Amino acid sequence: AQSVAQPEDQVNVAEGNPLTVKCTYSVSGNPYLFWYVQYPNRGLQFLLKYITGDNLVKGSYGFEAEFNKSQTSFHLKKPSALVSDSALYFCAVRDGGYQKVTFGIGTKLQVIP
């Protein structure tokens, strides 16, 4: 079975500071990892993914994520937070060869001006 954990319900960060949103996963095969963002009253939007290759993945809006196989983590990062980054962030995992995607419960990011 595959699972994903987002240990923080909410992350608060000051505008201009670096941000990190944490995600850990569990799969039996090779992991395929995704980050999505949801703005209020909107559907989820894809940010970035890790399939294979470089452990540091770059995505939309200046976000990046670091894949760490030994720690089974895929943390989302951004060097300098913007107030407009305030949203709900979801980590998702798919086991290689498995059609279904499992989502975390989401982390609310609040960027304080």
Give CA 96 to chain center in angstroms.
18
Does 105 sit near other proteins (CB under 8 A)? yes
CB nearer to other proteins: pick between 83 and 105: 105
Does 32 sit near other proteins (CB under 8 A)? yes
Shortest spacing between CB 38 and other proteins, in angstroms: 9
Q: How far apart are CA 94 and CA 74, in angstroms?
A: 13
Does 53 sit near other proteins (CB under 8 A)? no
Does 51 sit near other proteins (CB under 8 A)? yes
Name the amino acid, one letter, at 50.
Y
Residues binding other proteins (CB under 8 A): 32, 34, 36, 41-46, 49, 51, 90, 94-101, 103-106
